[in-house]
Amino acid sequence: MKTGGAKQTFSITADKTIKDKLNSIVSSYFIKSFIIVLFFLFTAGANAQQVTKVLVSVISGNTSHDTDVKNAFLLGYANYDGSLFSGQIDLHLDNSAISAIQYADQNNYQIAIRSYTGLSSQVDDTAKNHPDVLFFMPAGSNGFYYVCNLDIPNAVVVSTGAGLDTLVTGYKVEFFSIDPITSSNLSSFSNGYIAGQIAYLANKFNITPQQARLKARNYASPNSQSATYVQYGEINLQQAVQNESLPVELTAFTCSVNQNSVTLKWSTSTEVNNFGFNIERSTSNQNWDNIGFVQGHGNSNSTKEYSFVNNNLKAGSYSYRLKQIDNGGSFKYSSIITLKINQIADSEMGQNYPNPFNPTTTIQFTMTKKNNIRLVIYNIIGQQVAELVNGEVDAGTHNVTFNAGNLTSGIYFYTLSGNSVSITMKMILMK
């Protein structure tokens, strides 16, 4: 194994390429109350975070490889809803995994990610003495290079592997995932991706990384991989989040712009102990203001419609979200709707239907006057995958069918933009 020279640390933020990709995603569904494994009950505050410092431990000084491990973490964190990780990520040169764990604990990192393999029972034993750090270690590139038979359910180190094709490694791993950086099936990048997914769960539900790890185990599946090589499998982040939702099912959340006013409309299909909705607005997606409240229906098994009007807005970009509160005080956030008011404009776009969909869905939008608009589909990393409309559209309601037959399952975003408005919403392709 290569070793590095004198220890050095250098703090980095997301490199420009990956940050530009992530910033193109309409991000953040923010924190909600969450009941985790072993009946831990937490009520989360808006924007609360358990993971604020992440260490990428390196040995070679290969900054391209190590930066890609960091980028894989950011992509894993954005996997569910495009959320950007706002904490600190540092690269640190360590001669061994053991010294990396010790350094991370001494410097208050909640998560440490080793960018190279080399797991041993000694590494796991060291991690037991540093419970405040969740340490992630890759299995290697599908070869029997390092053999370590951990008791995975009770292991302290999170062992990971790459599972793009066949997962065959020198020791049984806890989780596997895609390699989101290359097509070479490198477990170093899968390791960073899985760490990002678990950090997201921790921050989403205001729980510790270890509690998020336990939750991830409940929503991981070996899929086609052999039980010889994987204990839990690939994390289904969508299922993990959605299965922990409060019992109020929001089926639609739309907005319309009329001159300098915005009308929000939403509906629920079922409600249990629904106290009501706070309407929150932001101009930065960071600081949110409560601008109103709409009373809920308590308990209901039928569709309920709601609306709220925000008047006298100045030109600019605005984001809206709903904070649904139950009678016990627990709450969760809706998706975010973002729009831009440049001048007097009249437009509306609704949630695609059906959603989730496979492989076709319909997007409806309304224009009260003729306008030049674009309707574009983006993937989770901000790449354009389809352009449905580009040109002059007459006033009225328009229905556009989107066929995603050539795309893979996942989260996508559709954006309606024109001379006076820009609206982005999320859709889920589930094949």
Q: What is the pLDDT of residue 347?
A: 72
pLDDT tens-digit profile, the chain (431 residues): 232 333 333 333 444 455 454 554 433 333 333 322 222 333 333 334 579 999 999 987 667 888 999 999 999 999 988 889 999 999 999 989 999 999 999 999 999 999 888 778 889 999 999 999 999 998 765 555 555 678 899 999 999 988 766 676 667 889 999 889 987 778 889 999 999 999 999 988 878 999 999 999 999 998 878 777 889 999 999 888 877 655 788 888 999 888 778 999 999 988 888 999 999 999 876 789 999 999 999 888 788 999 999 988 888 889 999 999 988 788 888 888 988 776 554 678 889 999 999 999 999 988 878 888 999 999 999 899 999 999 999 888 899 999 999 999 999 999 998 876 788 999 999 98
How many CB atoms are located within 10 Å of the residue 256 CB?
A: 22
Strands (E), 115-245: 134-138, 158-162, 173-177, 220-221, 230-235
Q: How far is CA 78 from CA 72, 268, 382, 393, in A?
A: 10, 26, 11, 34
For the chain, the structural domain boundaries read 9-242, 248-429
Compute the distance between CA of residue 91 and CA of residue 117 in angstroms, rounded to an integer.
16
What tokens does 292 get? Answer: 């109103």
Compute the distance between CA of residue 46 and CA of residue 32 in angstroms, rounded to an integer.
8
Could you tell me which residues come within 8 angstroms of residue 20 by beta carbon, excluding any fewer than 6 positions away?
A: 382
The 8-class DSSP code of residue 404 comes to -
Write the CATH number of the domain with boundaries 248-429: 2.60.40.10
Compute the distance between CA of residue 229 and CA of residue 227 in angstroms, rounded to an integer.
5
Q: What is the pLDDT of residue 410?
A: 93
Topology (CATH level 3) of domain 9-242: Rossmann fold (3.40.50)
